[in-house]
Amino acid sequence: MNAFEKPTNPSHWSNHYDVERFEKSGHEAVGILTDYLQTSMDSLRDFVLPLHDPNERLAMWKSEMNRGPDGSGDLLRGDLLQRVLDRSNHLHDPRYAGHQVAVPLPELAWLTAATALLNNGMAIDEMGPASSPMEEAVMRSVAQFMGMGDNASGILCHGGTLANLTALLAARQFQSTGDEWRDGTADNFAVLVSEQAHYCVDRAVRVMGWGEQGTVHVNTDAQNCIRPEALEVAFVEAERKGLKVLCVVGSSCTTSSGAFDDLNVLADFAEAKGLWFHVDGAHGAAQIFSKRHRSPLEGMHRADSVAMDFHKMLGVPALCTGLFYRRSEDAYAAFSQRAEYLYEHDVQDEWWNLSKRTFECTKRMLSVAIFGIWEQHGPNLWESLVDELVGNAKVFAANVSKRDGWELFASPESNIVCFRSTRWDNARLRAQMVEKGPHYIVKTEMRGETWLRCTFQNPYTDESVSSSILTRLEELGTEWLQE
């Protein structure tokens, strides 16, 4: 067969586009996923996290991958779906209190499946005829709800790391006297940020070529919040070193302990110095939907840009992050460059051509899930979800405070609680919990000390479940004394 002949037997691929086959496999998958969801929510497994040695897991998957086809040709045969489910971290189990990843609203699985089937890339209007205007509608509505003003809008992207980098790119272009995209960066730019901020801010600074000195850490208090008086100290020291500070970043909240910087203090400082004000609200900005728990976000509406993950506290599958701009036109500053083969007109504010405002050219149809929630519930569903998650964290923290032998890092303002035992080695406690189960919690290091850390992502992690976390940790600690 020469290079221009069609294969005589295309059935190897054509069978996988068969509609009846698709329907049959779909019914089978629905049954498997439904059983998985029920088993998870009923806490019927011995472990939330079925963890084994990484190399053992790799060897197992390599062996199964290379054992040869079973003859069916069915992508769901050979119990692949079941194996993936069984060997994954089970977030829908109420005993999950680990990293901050949403426990997805189950119905969104079907919307996600539909967008995977459509696969509209969204770089330009023709590749997102439904999802691009949905995204613009979503971002305008949510931004206005956040109090950022009638001109506010933004874009959706895959994760807070990308959103924070994009915001800093916009800040650089907005603050610079030249064209950074065309001429490169000539100034020694720097960003003021909490010493407790997420590492992605420092990573963004280094990606932009500003080096280690480009991240100017501001001292924090005992609760991990920026000290207001430390802002001026850090700013003066940066200028003394010949750095041009162009942005101040507020954490809402810090990943390690859930601390919120005073955003009004940061906004006042940014205005006085003529700086861009960005809020890394990847985790905590979702609390804006809760009348009960939004007070730590006072002043957020004054920011030039805000990052907020829908895949943290809002029940949306990862990754789905909103980057909001108080002035919608600022979004175009981040990527001022030409791509004539994509765009029919050299018009900068074409909101329908999303690749003008984001790193990503092809991206998933992220707006559909958010649109569906907002259309049916407005902010009400998110309010009830945030209230439950933060409320569960506060109940757990109160239980920690009442139990002998336990210490609370701080009263939680979000759904993150850091605590530790005053009797046993906390790193070992966490390792034993992971090894012996059944709960899943994590740990963090703050000022050289190990703290246990629970993030209450599952609304079903009520007081009875969270109390069992402490009880189980005490059992594990007591077992050591008997060894």
- pLDDT tens digits, residue range 67-118? 877 666 677 766 899 999 999 999 999 999 999 999 999 999 999 999 999 9
Task: Using alpha carbons, select from 446, 452, 399 the residue that is nearest to residue 425.
Answer: 452
- The full DSSP string for 327-361 is SGGGGGGGG----TTT-SS--TT-TT-GGGSSS-S
Give CA–CA dist 359/363, Å, rounded: 10
Looking at residue 183, its pLDDT comes to: 77
pLDDT score recorded for residue 136:
94
- Residue 76: inside a domain, yes or no? no
Do both 366 and 477 map to the same domain? no
Q: Which of 252, 301, 269 is nearest to 152 (CA)?
A: 301
Helices (H), 335-461: 367-377, 380-402, 426-436
- Is the link from the previous residue into 319 a cis peptide, with omega within 30 of 0? yes
Q: How far is CA 323 from CA 172, 236, 305, in A?
A: 16, 30, 7
Place of tokens 């329908």: 352
**Assigned domain for 64 exists:** no
pLDDT for 196 equals: 87
Tokens of 122: 């969204």
359 is a domain residue? yes
Q: Is residue 340 part of a domain?
A: yes
Q: What is the mean pLDDT of residues 431-438?
A: 94
- 10 in a structural domain: no
The tokens describing 341, both together, are 């083969």
Range of the domain at 200: 121-378
Mean pLDDT over residues 260-283, rounded?
A: 97
- Most confident of the following: 48-62, 276-290, 342-356: 276-290
What's the CA gap between 120 and 100, in Å, rounded?
28
Whole-angstrom Cα distance, residue 362 to residue 121?
Answer: 5
Q: Which of 238, 303, 237 is nearest to 276 (CA)?
A: 303
How far apart are the C-alpha atoms of 465 and 472, rounded to whole Å? 11
Least confident of 138-142, 343-347, 402-406, 419-423: 343-347
* Same domain, residue pair 361 and 426: no
Residues 217-238: tens digit of each pLDDT: 999 999 999 999 999 999 999 9
Checking if the pLDDT of 3 tops 70, the result is: no
Residues 369-412 pLDDT 10s: 999 999 999 999 999 999 999 999 999 999 999 999 999 999 99
Q: What CATH number corresponds to the domain at position 468?
A: 3.90.1150.170
> Among residues 361, 378, 395, which one ends one of the domains?
378
Pairing of strands 276-280, 321-325: unpaired
Mean pLDDT of the chain: 90
What percent of the chain has pLDDT above 70? 92
81 located within any domain: no
Please report, rounded to a whole number, the percentage of residues in the chain having pLDDT higher than 90: 73
CATH code (residue 218): 3.40.640.10
Same-domain check for residues 249 and 324: yes
Neighbours of 38 (CB within 10 A): 11
Residue 252 β-bridge partners = 260
- Residues 298, 343, single domain; the answer is yes
Residue 251 belongs to some domain of the structure: yes
What is the reported pLDDT for 363?
87
**pTM listed for this prediction:** 0.92
338: pLDDT strictly greater than 50:
no
- Which of 358, 378, 398 delimits the end of a domain? 378
Convert the pLDDT of each residue in 243-271 to its tens digit.
999 999 999 999 999 999 999 999 999 99
Q: How confident is the model at residue 357 (pLDDT cuts 50, 70, 90)?
A: confident
Point out which residues pair with 155 in neighbouring strands: 323
> How do residues 158-201 score in pLDDT, each as one tens digit?
999 999 999 999 999 888 777 777 777 778 899 999 998 888 88
Provide the pLDDT for residue 361: 79
Residue 365 sits in the same domain as residue 405: no
The rounded distance, in Å, linking the Cα atoms of 352 and 364 is 15
H or E, element range at 182: helix 180-183
* SS3 label, residue 142: helix
Same domain membership, residue 321 and residue 430: no
Q: What is the pLDDT of residue 221?
A: 94
My answer on whether 262 and 280 are in the same domain is yes
Residue 212 CB contacts under 8 Å (≥ 6 apart), including other chains? 206
Q: Are residues 367 and 480 in the same domain?
A: no
| Domain co-membership, 196 together with 286 | yes
Strand pairing category for 416-421 and 442-446: unpaired
What is the phi/psi pair of residue 325, to 5°?
-120, 135
Instruction: Let me know whether 153 and 240 are in one domain.
Output: yes
d(C-alpha 22, C-alpha 293), whole Å: 45
Closest-CA residue to 216 (of 185, 186, 247): 247
Specify the number of domains making up the chain. Answer: 2
Say which residues have a Cβ less than 8 Å from residue 309's Cβ, sequence separation at least 6: 159, 160, 282, 283, 285, 286, 319, 320, 321, 322
Residue 457 lies in a domain: yes
The whole-number pLDDT of residue 9 equals 57
The structure tokens listed for 61 are 């998957």
Given 378, 396, 424, which residue is the final one in a domain? Answer: 378
Give the confidence band of 340 by pLDDT, cuts at 50, 70, 90.
Answer: very low
In degrees and rounded to multiples of 5, residue 348 shows phi and psi of -75, -35
- For residue 251, list its beta bridge partners: 280
User: What is the reported pLDDT for 124?
Assistant: 81
pLDDT band for 334, please (50, 70, 90 cuts): confident
